[in-house]
Amino acid sequence: MKEGTKKIISAVCYFSLFFAPFLFPIVVYFVVDDSEVMEHAKKSFLSHLFPIVAVPLGIIIIFETQYHLAAIIISGLIFGTLTLIVTIWNIVKGIKVILS
């Protein structure tokens, strides 16, 4: 596989957060036979999982506090901040892969 192609596929794994967050990195991981691309696919897939793990935790907090307004606001802030961090991280990693 050409170096340019590897960079593009690796970067798209990170950018897939916007169009196919789980599907694309998994397909790339199992289809591509290059260890560097597989590593990027694995990292991007794991980073796409972080917000999904936060949602059930936020819902549990809200239900356990019986819909207390402070719990709803705090859960929303935590989930929003985590989603923003993951989004920025994926964009930065995708750009770094292209520029490297």
Query: Residues 17-36: pLDDT tens digits?
Result: 888 888 899 999 999 988 99
| Token code pair at residue 85 | 């961090």
DSSP-assigned letters across all residues of 4-62 = HHHHHHHHHHHHGGGT-TTHHHHHHHHH---HHHHHHHHHHHHHHHHHHHHHHHHHHHH
pLDDT-derived band at 8 (thresholds 50, 70, 90) equals: very high
CA 98/CA 22 separation, integer angstroms: 21
Q: Are 83 and 47 in contact (CB under 8 A)?
A: no
pTM reported for the whole predicted model: 0.80
pLDDT-derived band at 96 (thresholds 50, 70, 90) equals: very high
CA 77/CA 4 separation, integer angstroms: 39
Query: Residues 38-54: pLDDT tens digits?
Result: 999 999 999 988 877 87
What is the b/e burial string over 21-34, where b = at least 16 CB atoms within 10 angstroms of the residue's CB?
beebbbebbeebee
Query: Residues 55-74: pLDDT tens digits?
Result: 787 778 777 777 778 878 88
